[in-house]
Structure 1
Amino acid sequence: MKKKQWQGWGSGEQAEQAEQAEQAEQAEQHYLIRPRALAGGGDVRHVSEFLRASGWRDKSKTGGPLHMESPDRTVRIAYDPSVLPGGWIIHGRADGATGEWSAHLGRQTPVEIVAGLTDALTRPRSAHAPNVWAPLQEQNWHTRFEGQNYMATSPDGSTWMQYRQSPDGAAMWWTGAQDKQGNGWTATITPNTPMHLVQAFSTELASPDPVMRPRGRVPHSAQIRTWSVSVTPSQLSAWQQARITAARAANWARNTRPRTSARPYAPAGSARTRH
């Protein structure tokens, strides 16, 4: 009756919009998943929208795979799920002594873990010396030597990170996750990849925080734990927007920082001149 009366005021379109908004705001079932390494790939926009908000160029073609390029054009990121083995390719151009470096991450690498590395590409390096193993050890991962290789394994045994060295001197970072049914992913990172990026990756790899996936996107695995949560579209949008807003703010701060030049050396005791 109320609905008919409201429409009688000549506001049928408004009532319909209100009803659509109410329906759109109905809570949807999602699941929190732990360990995060076995949660599946997730939404690629978690990575790409952050980079775009950080000033990266989107070089993707309509309907094609994702291609992003850093503002200085030294790093490129691609994601293509349509080819085998598919997944993420992150490539850094030669930079001084580092040389070219790359990371290849499988399609089922959770986007939250991928973002550990890609988000770090947008931030200045820390003054502290990076330590790839520290985030793993802080989460009680088992670290040890296995021959020439140094290995870290998660407490449940599902996830690992290894620095592999072959007798001929070749080396690489090798990491991944696998459940008892054989589902999972692997990733390789070249040894000359800047260490602060590898540490950012290992930090997200070892994080005990669960990640969220919508209903229908939860892997069938006996080794994951799930919690059902009800989430409205506006809540999801707000969480996503908070991440994008943070990226934009950091990008603005980087681009508006005043440039300073070193003052010429003045001997002690010399008169100071105001400019």
Structure 2
Amino acid sequence: MRPFAPQDRVLVSPRYLAGAGIDRLADAIGPLVHLFGWPSEHDRASGRISVHSPDGSLFVNFNPRHTHGHWWSLAHHEPYWEARFTRQTPIEAIAAVTQALPQLLGDDRHIDRIPLTTTPPSRRSPN
């Protein structure tokens, strides 16, 4: 097995080693703001961060003081759907979802940097 390069992406196993990743919020929010230009708001007093798509149809909220531990909320308005993640959810999993959001809205400017697969895991060939 070859050693991993700094730019290689890997999955963490066992799951508990990944952790919530509070120090890596930029992995989940950064691409939306810096690559795709999504507007954001940050309330430093509460730690709450809100990011929304340019068309206002999709919202990503991070709230580390949520009373039930649901730190992350992603919501789309038409059609309506919502995803919530607790403070225990590995940041890698949250980043995988948030980085796919622009493409789901039809923005494929950075498709080479954030590739999506259309093949279910059960049909992928082993490496």
Range of TM-score over shorter length: 0.5 to 0.7
Larger-Rg structure = 1
1:118 aligned onto 2:101: no
Q: Report the Cα distance in structure 1 between the residues aligned to 2:54 and 2:87, rounded to whole angstroms.
A: 25
Tell me which amino acid in the other structure corresponds to 1:50: P
1:61 aligned onto 2:39: no
Tell me which amino acid in the other structure corresponds to 1:109: T
Q: Report the Cα distance in structure 1 between the residues aligned to 2:43 and 2:80, rounded to whole angstroms.
A: 25
Query: What displacement does 1:33 show?
Result: 7.8
Contact 1:37 1:109 in 2 (8 A): no
Contact 2:73 2:85 in 1 (8 A): yes
Query: What displacement does 1:88 show?
Result: 0.8
Query: What displacement does 1:101 show?
Result: 0.6
Query: What displacement does 1:76 show?
Result: 0.6
Larger strand percent: 1
Which residue is equivalent to 1:34? 12
Which residue is equivalent to 1:108? 88
Q: Note the alpha carbon deviations across 1:46-102, whole angstroms, 9 max, x for none.
A: 1111111111111222333111111111101111121222221000011xxxx2111
Aligned length: 101
Query: What displacement does 1:34 show?
Result: 3.1
Which residue is equivalent to 2:53? 70
Which residue is equivalent to 1:79? 62
TM-score when normalising by structure 1:
0.32
TM-score when normalising by structure 2:
0.66
| Identical-pair percentage | 23
Call closer, same or farther: CA 1:36–1:70 in 2, change over 3 Å: farther
Q: Report the Cα distance in structure 1 between the residues aligned to 2:33 and 2:107, rounded to whole angstroms.
A: 20
Q: Note the alpha carbon deviations across 1:217-254, whole angstroms, 9 max, x for none.
A: xxxxxxxxxxxxxxxxxxxxxxxxxxxxxxxxxxxxxx
